[in-house]
Homo-oligomer: A and B are copies of this chain.
Amino acid sequence: MTSSALSPAHKLIQKLESTTDLLPEERGALLALPMRVQEVRADQDVVREGDRPSHCCLLVDGFACRFKFTDKGKRQIFAFHTPGDIPDLLSLHLRTMDHSLGTVTDCTLAFIQHDHLRELMYQHPRLANVFWRDTLIDGAIFREWMLGIGRRSAKTRLAHLLCEVFMRLKAVGLERANVVPLPLTQNEVGDALGLSTVHVNRTLQELRGEHLLEWDAGVLTVLDWDRLVETAEFDPTYLHQH
């Protein structure tokens, strides 16, 4: 559980301000957004491929992921989501979900009606651009993962994922002394990297063996950021934080 005292809307604001600036009135409008908060247990689907949602879902606490299955039953995870994210913001403009959103851990979610989001953006056109930008960063991360899955070795790929998650968690204030919560199973990491669980395990042992990181009980500790970045070929430009 990645608990915190912030309200749902505050989490969203913090996340958005990790990549853009907001005006006071925009912050106010976000705080006034009606939301229905709900707790969801781990490993539950929140939105499914084929659904036609009329609301989006703000992740307040916990970890979530988006994924899709092959006809042959193999899963690819497209993204891991952390507090402050709206993982299914795209449903605002894409009628039918082409993939699913599920919880990784127990989560607190806040559902926001499409209508309310549309009204918000109508009143605050700059916010529309902020959200658009957010979905573009989402896409930038897809590209980076694609590059990794298609062209990088297992070791580089895994190191890269860990660098990315670390930076993103840091940006929303979930890092403390090179430690971040990372409650993923090796199986989930494999589904994200296009690797088998077994191979994730062995690759992880390499990274541990080189004293780049520790990762136990859902907690990731970065021991040597510079060398981790190096073996990951990690350049954070694509995260478009500023």
Contact = CB atoms under 8 A, between A and B. Distances in A.
A93 B149 CA distance: 26
A184 interface: no
A71 B125 CA distance: 39
Q: How many copies does the complex hold?
A: 2
B233 A71 contact: yes
Please classify the interface of chain A as helix (H, G, I), strand (E, B), loop, or mixed, using the class held by over half of its residues: helix
Interface residues of A, number: 44
A98 B143 contact: yes
Contact of A76 (B133, B151, B237): B151
A146 B142 contact: yes
A193 B146 contact: no
A96 interface: yes
B135 A94 contact: no
A125 B118 CA distance: 11
A150 B161 CA distance: 15
Contacts of A149: 146, 149-150, 194
A147 B68 contact: yes
Contact of A132 (B95, B132, B144, B238): B132
Top 3 A-B pairs ranked by shortest CB distance?
A150-B194, A139-B139, A142-B142
Interface of A: 50, 68, 70-72, 74-76, 78, 90, 93-96, 98-99, 122, 125, 128-129, 132-133, 135-140, 142-147, 149-152, 193-194, 233, 237-238, 240
